Chains A and B, each alone.
Chain A
Amino acid sequence: MKAGSFFALALAASTAFAGSARAEEPFKIGVSVGLTGYAAAVDRSWRDGLDVAVDYVNAHGGVLGRKLELVVEDNKSEPQEAVTVYRKMISSDHVGIFISGCVSAGNFAAAPFVVRAKIPMMLCSILPPQPEQAAWAYSFLAPPRFEVEKRYEYLKNHTKIRTVGVLYDPSPYANFQKTLAVNAAPEFGIAVPVVEQYKQDDADFSTQISKMESADAKAVIKIGLGGSTLTTAKNIKQLGLNTLLLGSVDDLAVLKPAGDTLGSQFLFVATPSQVYDALPQGALKSEIGRFLPLWKAKQGERDPGWAGKAWDAVMVTVEAIQAAKSFDGEKIRAAVETLPPHQGTGGVYNFSPTVHQGITVNPFLLGTFEGGKVVVKD
């Protein structure tokens, strides 16, 4: 054999081998989550839900012959940290898609260069405000107005309370919801005379709550995650008020102590999987039923709410890759927008070129704690 022919053969063989090795390389999913800081409770659940979903997909052969691999980075619930970890996952880990947590400010801050890298973002947060960035982002959150409307509906239909105060944290998500809460209130015949912001690490909200009481507000619409809900509950009790506290969607581990403190004065927006037993039979209960045993096997009785949404994000991603028959970011993105409606654990996701917030029908329920257990109130 001539030397030239030998080298050509060797090159062809090595190229074929390299191609096969590439095909077997796992498809990397970048995950920017606040494993510490104010968003930790939610984002840890999100991370653990992704873990369950990826294990499930890999156990069923992966996607297009490739396994999925999570690259998880802690953004410490801080936007600056999020920028750092997003950059690292793009340049060092070469992730093909992001399925990131609920630190909206961090996702917003990273969006410009994630878009430049043409990597789709599946998010637990709201969408970035710039249209060119939102074009690459898909939110698995229900529209923020659903959380607000569920609480207002309850007040309108089940109570005589028509004056409320809004207490919100400075995150973009909470800010956005606050604006919605103020604007939507008149539709429900509700007045919002006091709107107060807090910082997640503030030690006391007694003065904000007293201000609401002084303005005759009989309910507090609390917008924000984490232990601040417990502080609010304790402060209401400390002040001896009959004020209702209506909390945001959050981890049950955070919500339960608030329920223990205020009893029936505390209500919260519940995701379907948080109240699985109370759901009617149907596609929603069936999908939660597929996820829940896998979750419980790994995590016991931990709140499945946010983890279920993470499961949904992985399942939509897998469907999109299969529909696109490709791992290319642009093709995955195009496929997400043409998928048929996907029944997830958090509701039905119906993405399209113009709808990037997949849930379009309010899936929430209003929950409270009775005897230490979650019950549906409406």
Chain B
Amino acid sequence: MLDPVFLAQTILNGLSVGCIYGLIGIGFCVIYNASGIVNFAQGAFVMMGGMITHVLMQQHLPLIPSALLAIIVVALAGVVIERIVVRPLWDRKATMFVMILATLAAQIVIERLTLMLVGDQPKSIAVFTDLPPIKLAGVAIGYQTLWIMGTSLVLIAALGLFFQKTLVGRAMRACAINREAAALQGIVVSRMLAMSFALSAALGAIAGILVTPTQFTAFNVGTPFAISGFIAAIVGGFGRPFGAFLGGLLLGLAQALAVFGLGSGLKNMAALSVLLIFLFLRPSGILGSAK
């Protein structure tokens, strides 16, 4: 018999994980819009966010400064990747496939460096609010879930304002619409590229910091997150940040409902089949592709 509490709990669990997928998906979109590049090092940013926060907290730094420092360091790492990996290829007008390969290589290098620096044992950070979950009609709402959902919504709103109201945000949007025309208008497209890497790395780091208290982080957790974020971006309509967030929610929800109805052995197969059918019906994703 259908257990409504379990169903509600499943939906909540799915949406919570989906928020993380969505934030990672947004990272893909921001870089893609500025450059046309699909950055597969996005998962490494998620790992670094959680890992750096863990390392700093081990040095007895409180959560908030640790998290802020981690976000800054990861954003700078994004710029470094853009400068030493992407920019040289971009200047040589390398094809997108070469760029993708380069970002994949960057992901592997970051993983290996992390392995050498902190080892392979799983690490974690404490939940932000260490209180028992709120029980609402039998459904447990963990405080970390609230942090994940709340922060995601605030970030979505902030990104909306950033892209609508700020000069840099509008310049990024201009690059997304037509890079050549944006350049003719005086926008330094290469600078936008660096900024988009910083922004998407920071978003990845925030996702990592939010999700690590609910699981663990290790040098190799980035790739599965990158895959989920990439799927979220495609489902949402590649290049549409808000669409990527919706895509992430849909993916998380589909996975959770697959566990609910079919069992976790079929989770990914069922969830991806549903999303594939959705893309057959609407190939450009939820909001339509940006390009």
Q: Which residues of A come within 8 Å of B, CB atoms?
A: 35-37, 40-41, 44, 170, 196-199, 201-208, 210-211, 213-214, 226-227, 230-231, 234-235, 237-241, 251, 253-254, 257
Say yes or no for B42: interface residue by CB 8 A criterion. no
Query: Are the CB atoms of B120 and A41 closer together than 8 Å?
Result: yes
For the complex, give the distance between the alpha carbons of A227 and B216 in Å: 6
Query: Are the CB atoms of A240 and B122 closer together than 8 Å?
Result: no
Query: Are the CB atoms of A196 and B214 closer together than 8 Å?
Result: no
Other-chain residue from B20, B115, B144, B264 in contact with A208 (beta carbon distance below 8 A): B264
5 A-B pairs closest in CB distance: A227-B122, A227-B216, A238-B142, A214-B6, A206-B13
Q: List 28 A-B contacts (CB under 8 A).
A: A41-B120, A41-B121, A170-B265, A196-B263, A196-B265, A197-B263, A197-B264, A201-B224, A202-B264, A203-B225, A206-B9, A206-B13, A207-B9, A210-B6, A210-B9, A211-B6, A214-B5, A227-B122, A227-B216, A230-B124, A231-B216, A234-B216, A238-B127, A238-B214, A239-B9, A239-B142, A240-B133, A251-B121
A203-B20 CB under 8 A given contacts A197-B264, A210-B6, A211-B259: yes
A253-B133 CB under 8 A given contacts A211-B260, A231-B216: no
Say yes or no for B140: interface residue by CB 8 A criterion. yes
Other-chain residue from B120, B215, B259 in contact with A230 (beta carbon distance below 8 A): B215
Q: In the complex, what residues of A have CB within 8 A of residue B124's CB?
A: 230, 234, 257
Query: Are the CB atoms of A204 and B214 closer together than 8 Å?
Result: yes
Q: Which residues of B1-58 are within 8 A (CB) of A? A: 3, 5-6, 9-10, 13-14, 16-17, 20
Across the two chains, which residue of chain B brings its CB closest to A239? B140
A238-B144 CB under 8 A given contacts A203-B215, A226-B122: yes
Least Cβ–Cβ distance between B35 and chain A, in angstroms? 28
For the complex, give the distance between the alpha carbons of A235 and B9 in Å: 12
Least Cβ–Cβ distance between A41 and chain B, in angstroms? 6
> B interface, how many residues as a size bin?
35 or more
Q: In the complex, what residues of A have CB within 8 A of residue B220's CB?
A: 36-37, 201
Least Cβ–Cβ distance between A257 and chain B, in angstroms? 6
Q: In the complex, what residues of A have CB within 8 A of residue B260's CB?
A: 207, 211
Q: Which residues of B44-89 are within 8 A (CB) of A? A: none
Across the two chains, which residue of chain A brings its CB closest to B112? A36
Give 1 or 0 for each of B218-253: 1 = CB within 8 Å of chain A CB.
101101110010000000000000000000000000
Query: Are the CB atoms of A230 and B3 closer together than 8 Å?
Result: no
Say yes or no for B288: interface residue by CB 8 A criterion. no
Least Cβ–Cβ distance between B24 and chain A, in angstroms? 11
Q: In the complex, what residues of A have CB within 8 A of residue B5's CB?
A: 214
Give 1 or 0 for each of B92-131: 1 = CB within 8 Å of chain A CB.
0000000000000000000000010000111110010000
Least Cβ–Cβ distance between A240 and chain B, in angstroms? 4
Least Cβ–Cβ distance between A274 and chain B, in angstroms? 16
Q: In the complex, what residues of B have CB within 8 A of residue A41's CB?
A: 120-122
Q: In the complex, what residues of A have CB within 8 A of residue B122's CB?
A: 41, 226-227, 230, 254, 257
Say yes or no for B165: interface residue by CB 8 A criterion. no
Least Cβ–Cβ distance between A221 and chain B, in angstroms? 15
For the complex, give the distance between the alpha carbons of A207 and B225 in Å: 18
Query: Are the CB atoms of B135 and A230 closer together than 8 Å?
Result: no
Q: In the complex, what residues of A have CB within 8 A of residue B259's CB?
A: 196, 207-208, 211
Q: In the complex, what residues of B have CB within 8 A of residue A239's CB?
A: 9, 133, 140, 142
Q: In the complex, what residues of A have CB within 8 A of residue B20's CB?
A: 203
Query: Are the CB atoms of A240 and B135 closer together than 8 Å?
Result: yes
Least Cβ–Cβ distance between B50 and chain A, in angstroms? 11
Least Cβ–Cβ distance between A331 and chain B, in angstroms? 38
For the complex, give the distance between the alpha carbons of A237 and B130 in Å: 10
Q: In the complex, what residues of B have CB within 8 A of residue A234's CB?
A: 124, 127, 213-216
Other-chain residue from A201, A211, A238, A254 in contact with B133 (beta carbon distance below 8 A): A238
Across the two chains, which residue of chain A brings its CB closest to B219? A36
